[in-house]
Chains A and B, each alone.
Chain A
Amino acid sequence: MSSNRWFATGNFFSSYKAEQRIFFTHLDRTVFAVFLLALFVWPLCVELSNKYMLVLDNILIAMIAIIGLNLVTGFAGLISIGHAAFVGVGAYTLAFVARQLGDSHILITHAWPLMLVLCGLVGALFGAFVGLPALRLKHLYLAIATLSFQMIFQWTINFLPLFNQGQTIPIGRIYWFTGMVSRQNHYIFWYYVILTLVVLMGLAVRNLLRTRFGRSLVAVRDNDRAADAMGMHPGLTKVFAFALAGFFAGVAGALHAYLYRGAGIESFTLHQSITYLAMAIVGGLGTLTGSFWGPAAIRFLDLQVENMVEWSAHFLPATLNLATALKPLTFGLVIVLFLMFEPRGIANWWRICRTYLKLWPYRY
């Protein structure tokens, strides 16, 4: 917590309530407000190509998913190798409705905020269900139980004609007060929607973490038996953590389906689950800011590697293999290097930067 300027010289809090505040100074609050405003205003000034808008939207969606993953894996310490499946549950809830009622049914095109919540709730339901083994299982065995869910999910979607056997189920264009959101406005529209959701959910989680439940999550992670002795219910806490993660994943999934205007199994595979975990790690497990840094960093790296590959292809034409090997190689290296040299993730750099700026030009 050295991001707080008061901690530089000592602890001056006179009540627990004061210690739990989200913004410690007016400056903090102002900076945050200006930053938010900037996030909402910049698209009016700069026009980004569709590709980068798509990438941005994608990063924001991943942020929502990672907030959920961080709750269950970072704060509660329950490793989930099936997070993409939860995201998939959300997407396929929407797709299921689309398939039953038609892809341009009024529920989907007009009542989409309702659908987002519904998908989140279904995600939460599945989360709680998959979290049930957590009552008995721990560590690796639990991780493998979530992996099993991932596999069962993939098979189910791939097999059932109800879900179009894994082929894309289309979802119609949605309506806003100004009429149908057209192709030109699609990405920018969803940018605003997802951004709003990220801010809302981020604040919600920030608040959640300072409640009794938030603290019991961490307590259960650190030692569930001790937590039990202190009067918490580790089992319920774990199941609830999974349910929350499922909710966030479900919303992310619904957003994904809306953004890509369809749900197909390729977006929710084991590979995606692993990518989500990598994002959480690189961002910083068990930190809220990490949930924002991780997706941004991993997607940015992806793009840069792609650009580099393309650039190297200008003078290395015959060695396409070298270029394509770069992608998994850098992805793996980034994970491993972070774990070896900065296990607290980018969130830690952020913390260091902030401290440095707070004290500048003095040294601590």
Chain B
Amino acid sequence: MKHQHKWMIQVLVALILCLAMAAPSCAAEKYKLALSLAITGPTSDAGAPYSKGVEDYIRYVNDTKMFKDAVVECPIRDDQYQTDITKRNFEEFLSDGIVLYLNYSTGSTLALKKDFEEEKIPVIPASFHAGNLEDSHYIFLPIATYSSQCIGLAEYIAANNKGGTPQVAMFIHPSAFGRGPVDDLKKAIAAGLKMDMVEVVEHGKDLDNTAMLQRLLSKKVRYVICQTVQSPVATLLKDAQRLGVIAKTFGEDGKLTFVGAHYTGGNDLIELAGSAAEGFYWTTSYTLTSEPGPGTDFQLMLAKKYSRDDKTANSHNYTNGMMVAQLAVETIRRVKAKNLKVTRENLYNELNAMNGANSYSPGNTVGPVTYSPTDHAGVDTLQIYSVQKGVFKAVGKPFVPKFAK
């Protein structure tokens, strides 16, 4: 018993030490933002570079003294994709007095929507789910919703299809995130977008999609719109490749052309699917490092400055995180430029006024960020990319989907 007693005291001492270590210190004027996201757990392959994008840009702001005496503070918390932890993090951030909150998953954004309303705090999530905006005033999506991305893809298909009405299937994630755009796309079709939606497939953890692909082909499906994450798309593409059913040219007869929204693409898809990714069409509002420009130069510089590896530096989720941080910092800057106090309300008004001449171009998106009290989707412009020789190359010019509201 004596032995165990000693052990207990040691544990107690260790716990007290842990407590003592966790005490932070503070000084100078601070603008407090905060981010809660999945760095581990599901979707961490997107969350990890996203968090680094936010972290690096905030550090850049502070290192280059963008706000002279003041600093921007943005603690980043891992919530392992669990809504409960997100809520806890959010409550803590609120007690810290944050003025703007960056959220991540579709699930937690929907779950906390009421809290955002009650707290009147502007929120920028990484989820572009259109449902986020229903009954909500304080959620600002950084770029076009998944729905308008899918509609954009559908419009591209309708415009480039040869011969008859295009037959389309959707391949979606079994969650709100995946299902969201289905109804909106159906509405767009009802409103006059020329195509037939033949089937909607929800995927699981598949090892073999042969049967599904053959079924789609037998139903004369020509295009598959994917709204999910990279891994299932990679498996699908590999199966399609070995069956030899991937279209060589866009919309080739008797073959399948695969297209996908923001989280299906990027370098991760090429990593996972290898040569099967060739000819995959993808849409997002971000610029990519495979299409160099001033925005991407800045991104690479930032990644280099904070010694990120190549994979992170070139990830579109790194861009995504960076852009969200840029947007937040820019809003703070504008509020300050008007000599107003940086508060939730002023930030909210400033975000709502971000349109017309006041729209903001962060440089790494294909169009400007525009918000208004009735439009809370940021960059409305989309760019289609396709994989050519192992990298995503831009196809055509950036455009705004017509059927998206």
Interface string of A239-269 (1 = CB under 8 A from B): 0000000000000000000001110111100
A residues apposed to B, CB below 8 Å: 49-51, 54-55, 58, 158-159, 165-168, 170, 183, 260-262, 264-267, 271, 304, 306-311, 317-318, 320-321, 324-325, 327-328, 349, 352-353, 356, 364
B1 with A352: CB separation less than 8 A? yes
Closest chain A CB from B169 CB (angstroms):
19
Do A308 and B22 form a contact, CB below 8 Å, given A51-B95, A352-B1? yes
Q: Write the B254-288 contact mask toward A (1 if CB under 8 angstroms, else 0).
A: 00000000000000000000000000000000000
Known: A165-B176, A166-B176. A260 touches B107 (CB 8 A): no
Between-chain CB contacts (< 8 Å), 20 pairs: A58-B84, A58-B88, A158-B175, A166-B175, A183-B119, A260-B83, A260-B84, A260-B87, A261-B114, A262-B111, A265-B107, A266-B107, A304-B19, A307-B22, A310-B22, A311-B22, A318-B306, A320-B51, A320-B55, A327-B40
B78 on the A face (CB < 8 A) = yes
Interface residues of B in 24-72 (CB under 8 A from A): 39-40, 48, 51-52, 55, 59
B228 to chain A, nearest CB (A): 14
Chain A residue at minimum C-beta to C-beta distance from B87: A260
A324 touches B78 (CB 8 A): yes
B residues at A contact (CB < 8 Å): 1, 4-5, 8, 15, 18-19, 21-22, 39-40, 48, 51-52, 55, 59, 75, 77-78, 80-84, 87-88, 91-92, 94-95, 107-108, 110-111, 113-115, 118-119, 131, 174-176, 179, 306-307
Residue from B18, B48, B78, B111 with most neighbouring chain A CB atoms (10 Å): B111
In the bound complex, CA of A308 to CA of B19 (Å): 9
Instruction: Give A327 to B77 CA distance when docked, in angstroms.
Output: 12
- With both beta carbons as reference points, the residue of chain B lying nearest to A265 in the complex is identified as B107
B22 with A165: CB separation less than 8 A: no
Evaluate contact between B40 and A168: CB separation under 8 angstroms.
no
- The reply to whether A50 and B94 form a contact with Cβ atoms under 8 Å apart is yes
A170 in contact with B114 (CB, 8 Å): yes
- Please indicate the chain A residues that have their CB under 8 angstroms from the CB of B118 in the complex: 183
C-alpha gap A326/B4 in the complex (Å): 26
Residues B175 and A327 in contact, CB atoms below 8 Å apart: no
Separation of A108 and B82 alpha carbons in the complex (Å): 25
Q: A51-B91, A54-B87, A352-B5 are known contacts. Are A264 and B111 too (CB-CB below 8 A)?
A: yes
Q: How far is the CB of B51 from chain A (nearest CB, A)?
A: 7
Extra contacts, 9 of them, besides A54-B88, A267-B84, A352-B5 (Cβ < 8 A), are A49-B91, A168-B107, A170-B114, A260-B83, A308-B18, A310-B77, A320-B39, A321-B48, A364-B1
Q: Which A residues are in CB contact (< 8 Å) with B8?
A: 349, 352-353
Q: B48 touching A320 by the CB < 8 A rule?
A: yes
Known: A304-B22, A310-B22. A266 touches B110 (CB 8 A): no
Bound together, the chains give a CA A267 to CA B78 distance in angstroms of 16
In the assembled complex, the Cα of A307 lies from the Cα of B19 at a distance in Å of 8
Among A167, A306, A349, contact of B77 (Cβ-Cβ < 8 Å): A306
**Do A167 and B22 contact each other (CB < 8 Å), given the known contacts A58-B84, A260-B84, A304-B15?**
no
Residues of chain A within 8 A of B15, CB atoms compared = 304
